[in-house]
Structure 1
């Protein structure tokens, strides 16, 4: 039996993961937000046994985390703990989808062993959730893989994120407006993330943690240039030159461990990923 529970199944990654894993022969059990609160034990008792759990459910909009930090901690940490208790009861392998937790990096590229320096309440909730995962693996002998995703992008991403914001302006406006042109990020395309999850399901290590990124970084200015090239536009770019508090100026993932142990290699460079993203947005425009 290859039955997988996907929490957060209606989110950006979750909804594409459902179709992706179905196409790879898995039977999917969904746990969308509408089903209820993942912190409630009674809800987990009603879920049928599965072989695998991919845990995506989390409150993740960073600006909200500053205003509702205790709610983020409760939902993300307690929700993860409830999921792990369910997985322990049913002997289900867990893929815990985490995030960038390194703060301002001391060295680039960033290895998994880099100190964790969460710089917002959302990141703090993910660090604590990872520790709960580590504890369960060590003391309850659970099979758990953690994937630290860098900047995921692709079709279906919420319009408030950088790449869809720029694409939408490029397709609909007479100019492109952003806060700051300088910060660089490691952007990883959604289909590469789905493949990393699939390979993690097949992996047999009891506990492992991997960076999932592209291994390269691009500034906001470079992203705009590449999007304009694909859209065949030359719109003026206006930066308000607002530097966010605690801004991180460059991020590059060291993905050598995932390459070595998961046999995972990104298949989409930025140009290819942006082309697919823009084509999808044009289709539904």
Structure 2
């Protein structure tokens, strides 16, 4: 795609499905859509929705944002088949519902590029997933491309880099570090490895990109990141600074299988297509996480 060409846009639908609407990103997206007057139909495992067996309500729906997935990379090494089943076959079932209803779709993917891809990495780089989670997402992307090509469907793929922000929980890096920074009972910050660098993009910027994607005619895959990278050590320093405290840092020296040591997104394609730009800087974003915990 010519990154200098802005694509035509559609208006937001009056009714939209958000799969994974109770998750971290899905919750922020559902709230934003509702604030914009969109009637949100939620579908999530936590509210009884099963991607592999249940039907998604599609009456009056104008667009589907498909975020529901198994997503924690370390867990994907323990059960690659489960990740493939939910993330690939589950996505194919959503695509089929969209095909039958004549509805456009945004599919949320991830970093699917090679560990040694030159940075910043653009969408033109050849895919080479470094873990089972990314493999399952790339297979789901292939399903999206097949449906778009074969059935003339409007499907947009967003490849999210490391999303963070208020409300993120579980074992992900930023909330793990942030909780240690604000907890007075924690005497030191412990991290598996201080060296890896990631492109951290704030959840509000990701939601901006998702909303923008619903206005596209479909057919493209776009990176969603900040365009810069920060190390685990940078995250710790920013969390401690935002929390106004000082704690010693322990590097456990652990290395994950096929660890990618530096990731930076080339975000020019989505900017050119929609005018989207990340608005929230790294330090301000980390501060928003710390503020949500105190």
Smaller-chain TM-score range? over 0.9
- Identify the residue that residue 241 of structure 2 maps to in structure 1: 229
| Structure 1 residues 245 and 70: alpha-carbon distance in aligned structure 2, compared to 1, 3 A threshold | closer
Q: What is the deviation of 1:53?
A: 0.1
Matched, 1:95 2:106: yes
Deviates more, 1:189-198 or 1:271-280: 271-280
CA offset digits 1:208-251 (Å, max 9, x no partner): 11000000000111111111111111110111112222111100
Deviates more, 1:133-142 or 1:224-233: 224-233
Q: What is the deviation of 1:47?
A: 4.2
Normalised to the residue count of structure 1, the TM-score between the two structures is 0.95
Question: Where in structure 2 are there 5+ consecutive unaligned residues?
Answer: 1-12
| 8 Å CA contact 1:177, 1:238 repeated in 2 | yes
Normalised to the residue count of structure 2, the TM-score between the two structures is 0.92
Of 35, 41, 49 in structure 1, the residue corresponding to residue 48 of structure 2 is 35
| 8 Å CA contact 2:58, 2:101 repeated in 1 | no
- Identify the residue that residue 177 of structure 2 maps to in structure 1: 166
- Identify the residue that residue 13 of structure 1 maps to in structure 2: 25
Aligned length, in residue pairs:
279
Of 181, 191, 198 in structure 1, the residue corresponding to residue 211 of structure 2 is 198
CA offset digits 1:33-78 (Å, max 9, x no partner): 13332122x524x543410000001111222222222121111111
| 8 Å CA contact 1:49, 1:90 repeated in 2 | no
| 8 Å CA contact 2:164, 2:202 repeated in 1 | yes
Matched, 1:82 2:102: no
C-alpha separation in 1, matches of 2:178 and 2:157: 31
Of structures 1 and 2, the one scoring higher in RCO (CA 8 A, sep 6+) is 2
Q: Note the 1:64-213 alignment, pairs <5 A.
A: 64-172=75-183, 173-204=186-217, 206-213=218-225
- The structure richer in helix per residue is 1
Matched, 1:262 2:274: yes
Runs of 4+ in 1 over 3 A off after TM superposition: none
C-alpha separation in 2, matches of 1:184 and 1:212: 16
Question: Where in structure 1 are there 5+ consecutive unaligned residues?
Answer: none
C-alpha separation in 2, matches of 1:88 and 1:257: 26
Query: What secondary structure sits across from 2:105 in the alignment?
Result: strand
